[in-house]
Copies of this chain bind each other. A is one copy, B any other.
Amino acid sequence: MYRSHTCGELRQEHVGQEVTLAGWVHRRRDHGPLIFVDLRDRYGITQVVFDSQSPEVHAVAEEARSEFVLQVRGVVRSRPPEAHNPELATGDIEVTATSATVLNPARTTPLYIAKEGGEDEALRLKYRYLDLRRERMQRNMILRHRVIKFMRDFLDAEGFLEIETPILIKSTPEGARDYLVPSRVHPGSFYALPQSPQQLKQLLMVAGYDKYFQVARCFRDEDQRADRQPEFTQLDMEMSFVEQEDVISLIERLFTQLCAAVVPHKRVLTPFPRLSYAEAMERYGSDKPDLRYGLELINLSDLLTATPFNVFKGALEQGGQVKGLRLPGCGNYTRKQLDELIEMVRGSGGKGLAWAALPADGGDVRSSFAKLLAPGEMAAIIERMQAQPGDLLLIVADKASSVAAALDKLRRLFAERLNLADPDLLHFSWVLDFPLLDWNPDENRWDAVHHPFTAPHAEDQPLLASDPAKVRAQAYDLVLNGYEVGGGSIRIHRRDVQQRIFELLGISEETAQSQFGHMLEAFEYGAPPHGGIAPGIDRIVMLLADESTIREVMAFPKTQQAADLMTNAPSEVDERQLKELHITLR
Contact = CB atoms under 8 A, between A and B. Distances in A.
A56 interface: no
Contacts of A528: 22, 24, 69, 103-104
Contact of A193 (B167, B206, B243, B517): B167
Interface in A172-206: 173, 177-193, 199-200, 203-204, 206
Contact of A231 (B41, B127, B167, B170): B167
A167 B152 CA distance: 21
A170 B200 CA distance: 28
Copy tally for this chain in the complex stands at 2
Interface of A is mostly: loop
A581 B182 CA distance: 11
Nearest to A142: B161
Interface string A221-248: 1000000001101000000011100100
Contacts of A561: 185-186
Given A161-B142, A556-B166, A556-B200, A67 B177 contact: no
A586 B586 contact: no
Interface in A537-586: 554-556, 558, 561-564, 566-574, 577, 579-586
Interface residues of A, number: 124
Contact of A69 (B68, B193, B242, B526): B526
A162 to B, nearest CB: 5
A16 interface: no
Interface string A109-134: 10000000000000000011111110
A42 B240 CA distance: 11
Contact of A188 (B6, B189, B231, B572): B572
Nearest to A223: B185
A67 B129 contact: no
A186 B230 CA distance: 13
A210 B167 contact: no
B585 A586 contact: no
A242 B567 CA distance: 26
Nearest to A126: B518
A285 to B, nearest CB: 32
Contact of A107 (B1, B105, B524): B524
Nearest to A159: B43
A72 to B, nearest CB: 12
A69 B530 CA distance: 12
A569 to B, nearest CB: 4
A128 B188 contact: no
A3 interface: yes
Nearest to A25: B526
A109 B104 CA distance: 64
Highest count of chain B CB atoms <10 Å: which of A182, A184, A246:
A182
A64 to B, nearest CB: 10
28 contacts: A1-B243, A41-B208, A104-B528, A128-B203, A129-B206, A131-B207, A132-B207, A138-B208, A164-B217, A164-B554, A167-B167, A168-B179, A168-B558, A170-B567, A170-B569, A171-B571, A171-B577, A173-B574, A178-B577, A180-B573, A181-B193, A184-B221, A185-B561, A189-B570, A189-B572, A517-B568, A518-B568, A583-B584
Given A170-B568, A518-B568, 14 more contacts: A3-B241, A69-B526, A69-B529, A103-B528, A106-B526, A165-B555, A166-B556, A168-B179, A180-B577, A180-B581, A188-B572, A584-B584, A584-B585, A584-B586
